[in-house]
């Protein structure tokens, strides 16, 4: 697999634990099989290589986080450095150009893009391989992974497939709703949009060149700070007529809030701390 991990955010929803100086993806919250603490980026990177030892992983990140990534994953890890934070479309365009011009990846190769902060089991990465296969078949220009909702969430956007098939074309996208509207969406068969998608590298490069005036990776890197801030969903996904979604019904948590984080922690306190009986709203 060729994977781009998006790791540019500061995770300020977990402030004050996570901030501009110490981003959430580098804090060691979780325990591995050896009872050792590991960070989000370490956990995701490890799991990808467990499923596919030959996987090529490139981490798209801001220059301020590059040293943290090398510190946790080693000096050999592939990084696409963003000179400035410009949101997910510029980040993915730059990383794709990096794959083509620096790593010399064939335009027909499939690339999978996913965030660095999901809390998932190995079956999630097996599903990424299925996403890769569907994209390689050429059935659509873009292939998304849609999460089967477990409750009517207001935190996620929704994908409405054209059918209840495991792989289906996308009928439309739905913005983050209130709880009542989320129930309606789920009743129609809508899926959570987890921000995971796959495409052939050549498709994304062609799209990037049509939207950004640049020659190659070095030119795009030099122009990067002047690019419009816009998400990949708004700039590409919601405008693409040829798009499919693969259903995923395994365990998946977006560790972006305190509630979700505490659900994934193995113990109530990490480090030095005391839980008094008068404490409220603690993880128990």
User: d(Cα 190, Cα 171) in Å, to the nearest integer?
Assistant: 10
Cβ-based neighbours of 83, under 8 Å, separated by 6 or more: 63, 221, 224, 225
Identify the burial level of 94 via C-beta atoms within 10 angstroms of its C-beta, where 0-12 means exposed, 13-18 middle and 19 or more buried. buried
Ranges of the chain whose pLDDT falls below 70: 8-22, 255-277, 279-284
Identify the burial level of 179 via C-beta atoms within 10 angstroms of its C-beta, where 0-12 means exposed, 13-18 middle and 19 or more buried. exposed
Identify the burial level of 66 via C-beta atoms within 10 angstroms of its C-beta, where 0-12 means exposed, 13-18 middle and 19 or more buried. middle
| Residue pair 82/8 in contact by the 8 Å Cβ criterion | yes
Q: What is the pLDDT of residue 284?
A: 46
For domain 2-140+194-241, which CATH number applies: 3.90.550.10, 3.30.450.40, 3.60.20.10, 3.40.50.720?
A: 3.90.550.10
> 12-54: per-residue pLDDT in tens?
555 555 555 567 788 787 777 777 888 889 999 999 999 999 9
In sequence order, the β-bridge partners of residue 95 are: none
219 half-sphere exposure, CB direction, 13 A CA radius:
8
Report the run of H or E that residue 118 belongs to, with start and end.
strand 118-120
> For residue 248, which of 191, 189, 185, 177 has the smallest C-alpha distance?
191
| Residue pair 168/245 in contact by the 8 Å Cβ criterion | yes
Question: pTM to 2 decimals?
Answer: 0.86
Q: What DSSP character marks residue 60? A: E
| Domain boundaries, given as residue ranges, for the chain | 2-140+194-241
């Amino acid at each position: 697999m060729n994977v781009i991990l998006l790791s540019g955010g500061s995770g300020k929803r977990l402030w004050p634990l996570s901030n501009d100086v110490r981003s959430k993806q580098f804090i060691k919250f979780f325990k591995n099989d050896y009872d050792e603490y590991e960070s989000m980026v370490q956990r995701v990177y490890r799991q990808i290589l467990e499923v596919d030892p030959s996987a090529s992983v490139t981490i798209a990140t801001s220059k301020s986080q590059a040293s943290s990534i090398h510190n946790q994953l080693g000096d050999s890890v592939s990084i696409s450095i963003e000179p400035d934070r410009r949101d997910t479309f510029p980040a993915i365009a730059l990383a794709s150009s990096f794959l083509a011009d620096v790593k010399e990846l064939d335009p027909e190769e499939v690339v999978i893009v996913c965030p660095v902060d999901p809390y998932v089991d190995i079956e999630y990465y097996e599903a990424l391989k299925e996403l890769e296969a569907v994209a390689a078949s050429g059935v659509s220009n873009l292939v998304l992974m849609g999460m089967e909702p477990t409750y009517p969430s207001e935190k996620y956007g929704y994908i409405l497939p054209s059918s209840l098939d495991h792989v289906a074309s996308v009928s439309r996208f739905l913005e983050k709703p209130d709880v009542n509207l989320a129930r309606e969406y789920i009743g129609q068969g809508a899926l959570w949009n987890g921000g995971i998608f796959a495409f052939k590298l050549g498709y994304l490069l062609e799209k990037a060149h049509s939207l950004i005036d640049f020659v190659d990776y070095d030119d795009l890197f030099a122009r990067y700070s002047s690019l419009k801030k816009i998400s990949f969903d708004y700039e590409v996904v919601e405008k693409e007529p040829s798009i499919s979604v693969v259903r995923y019904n395994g365990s998946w948590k977006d560790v972006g809030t305190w509630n979700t984080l505490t659900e994934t922690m193995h113990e109530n306190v990490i480090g030095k701390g005391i839980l008094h009986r008068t404490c409220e709203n603690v993880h128990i």
